Amino acid sequence: MAKSTAFLEFSRTDPAKKNVAERLRNFREFEIPLNHTELLHQAARCMDCGVPGCHAFGCPLHNRIPDWNDMVYREKWQRAFLLLQATNNFPEVTGRICPAPCEAACTLSINDKPVTIRHLELQIVEKAWREGWIQPVIAAQKSGKRVAVIGSGPTGLTAAQQLARRGHAITIFEKSDRIGGLLRYGIPDYKLEKWVIDRRLEQLKAEGIRFETGVDAGVDISARYLK
Ligand code: SF4
């Protein structure tokens, strides 16, 4: 816990939104990120609870939220990012669209407003992209095994990346014409602009993952998929 009295000194501040007149003219994201000082204050509000509801039963990924809050407050952003990616392959997605059950489970929400966990998560990972801390992770050894992943939604992409990093040769089969599943076709741009997916797909491709689009697995069976 970086600053034991911060939750008494600082109130929760949410990111502002672009004004409606501007939002009406496009379909882009409309959240305005908090500035650097405000991010440190928001991270400092975390009490590093003995039983951190955010991590233990709020976050389905069990993200190490109190640890990265502490690192942000201490301005150790790269360390915060390493903690974040330890449990989450695509924080730039969850940081934008997750309904943040971690915040509902935050102890501070009992008699105050919870820590701005989701926004901090997003700012950590976006800083990591800007700083070049996110690079392809190439498996040191190949297993010689091939694995087919059916569907290129968030689950398929995550499974594929984890397996590729274990050295397996991965092919993702996707029925649609583009990769991303629900991320691409189920979420509007004002919540998740599609360049966010494309940026991450470049990393997956560089890690050796192959993509086959327009394949209805189990229905569209041709010899080339059975080799
Ligand atoms: S529950 Fe809230 S205050 Fe407690 S560790 Fe998690 S984010 Fe920090």
Asked if pLDDT for residue 16 goes beyond 70, the answer is: yes
CATH topology of domain 6-131: Fumarate Reductase Iron-sulfur Protein; Chain B, domain 2 (1.10.1060)
- Taking CA atoms only, the protein residue closest to ligand 1 atom 4 is 49
Q: Give me the chain's average pLDDT, please.
A: 95
pTM (2 d.p.): 0.94
| CA angle at 86 for the pair 129 and 82, rounded to the nearest 5° | 45
Q: What is the pLDDT of residues 105-116, one digit of tens each?
A: 999 999 999 999
Give the model's confidence band at 2: pLDDT under 50 very low, under 70 low, under 90 confident, else very high.
low
CA dist 161 and 145 (Å) reads 15
Could you tell me the distance, in angstroms and rounded to a whole number, from the CA of residue 103 to the centre of ligand 1? 8
Ligand 1 pocket, Cβ-based, cut-off 6 angstroms: 46-49, 52-54, 65-66, 69, 106-108, 114-115, 117
Read off the pLDDT of residues 109-136 as tens digits, 9 standing for 90 and up: 999 999 999 999 999 999 999 999 999 9
Q: Which CATH superfamily is domain 146-226 in?
A: FAD/NAD(P)-binding domain (3.50.50.60)
The DSSP secondary-structure symbol of 170 reads E
Domain ranges of the chain: 6-131, 146-226
Cβ atoms within 10 Å, residue 13: 16
Residue 114 alpha carbon to ligand 1 centre in Å: 8
Q: Can you list the positions of beta strands (E) in the chain?
A: 16-17, 31-32, 146-150, 169-174, 210-213
Separation CA 217–CA 169 (nearest Å): 18
For residue 53, which atom of ligand 1 is closest to its CA?
Answer: 1
Give pLDDT tens digits for 178-212.
999 999 999 999 999 999 999 999 999 999 999 99
d(CA 164, CA 207): 7
